[in-house]
Amino acid sequence: MSVETAPLYTKACNGGAVSACHSLGLMYGNGVGTAQDTRRAFNLYKQACDAGYSFGCTDLGRAYADGSGVTKDERQATVLLQKACDEGSPRGCDYLGRMYETGRGVTKNEPRAAELYKKACDAEDKNGCENLKRLSSTHMRAAPSVPTTPVAGAVRLHGSRNRSA
C-alpha cells in the first residue's frame, strides 16, 4: 500500500465498500501510506465490522485487546473475535485462541484454544497452525510420565494380585 492508495480506499469506503474501509483502517493503524492514527483505524474497523465484514471484526477485536485507538477491553475483544471467527475469519480464530490460551478476557482454557487454532489452521492460517503445533508440543512435554517399573500391589493383566503364600 502506498500514499496513492489511501485516497482510492477512502473513496471506495465512502461509497460503501466495507473491505476498503478495513484496508484503509490497516493503513492508518500501521502508518503505511498515511500518518499513523489508531483512533481513525479503530473507527474504520468498526465501520467494516458493523457492516458484517469479519476481517474488520478481527482487527476491531485486536484494537480492544491492545487498547489501540480505544480503551482496552479484553472482554469486548473476545466477543468481537468470536464473531469474526464464527463469520469466517481464520485470523479471528487464531487471535481468539490466544485469548483463551492466556486467559485474556476469558477464563484460561487451553483445550478451547487448541480448537480455535485448529479451526484457523484448517482454513490455512499459518499462525493458527504454528500455535496449534506449539500448544500441542507443550502439552506433550508436560504430560505425566507413566511408570515403567511394577508398582507393589498393582493388579496384573489377568486380574489377580501378587499374593504371598
Per-residue pLDDT of the chain (165 residues; tens, 9 = 90+): 666 899 999 999 999 999 999 999 999 999 999 999 999 999 999 999 999 999 999 999 999 999 999 999 999 999 999 999 999 999 999 999 999 999 999 999 999 999 999 999 999 999 999 999 999 987 655 544 444 444 444 444 444 444 444
Q: How far apart are CA 132 and CA 136, in angstroms?
A: 6
Same domain, 46 and 83: no
Domain housing 31: 1-51
Instruction: Assess if residue 81 is contained within a domain.
Output: yes
134: domain CATH number is 1.25.40.10
Q: How far apart are CA 136 and CA 74, in angstroms?
A: 25
Sorted by sequence, the CB contacts under 8 Å of residue 140 that are 6+ apart come out as none
Instruction: Assess if residue 59 is contained within a domain.
Output: no
DSSP state of 158: T
**Letter for the amino acid at 75?**
R
- How far the first Cα of the chain sits from its last, in Å, is 84
Instruction: Assess if residue 57 is contained within a domain.
Output: no
Sorted by sequence, the CB contacts under 8 Å of residue 85 that are 6+ apart come out as 92, 93, 96, 116, 119, 120
Same domain, 81 and 32: no
Nine cell digits for residue 108: 484460561
